[in-house]
Structure 1
Amino acid sequence: MRGTEPVTPAPRHAPSGVRRTKAQSGPVWHRSSHSMGNGGNCVEVALVRSPQVLVRDSKDPGGPRLRFARRAWRDFLGSVAG
């Protein structure tokens, strides 16, 4: 689902292939550009000031959020990327 939040091109600090979603307040959420057009089955990721990463379901932006240490998130991405 192309979400309830407008999507703009990613800022320079966002990882390649990621689009930034505009949030009214709180963390800045990023959605993979590869997730568009797949029926809404995607997650959004936000880097927060502490050395952590937040992950949420893009279909339920007000729902629960998972919190990971940045190193654990990097390790996860490395393992799924190849």
Structure 2
Amino acid sequence: MIFNFYNLILDNWELEIGNWQLGIENWELRIGNWELKHSCFMSFITSVTSVTKSVAELSSRRYIRYIRYKIRCQTSVTSVT
């Protein structure tokens, strides 16, 4: 799957991603291995559900596909020192 621009909804966190990783406050998301980090916690996404797609038109006449993933928490959380 090719990743471009995303809105990911994870437990009410909305992440807009234009690159391979994005930090919000202390959060980091790595698309490659679906790894989420939060200060001293690490959680791995194991299931993705409710995928919807929409297309938005920009003023520059480019089309960007926004793929919205609703990620249900089947995650494992480990503490990182």
Higher helix share: 1
User: Which of 1 and 2 has higher RCO (CA within 8 Å, sep 6+)?
Assistant: 2
| Fold agreement, TM-score > 0.5 | no
- Give the number of the structure whose residues are more often strand, by fraction: 2
Kindly name which structure, 1 or 2, has the bigger radius of gyration based on alpha carbons. 2
| TM-score, normalised by the number of residues in structure 2 | 0.32
TM-score w.r.t. the length of structure 1 is 0.31
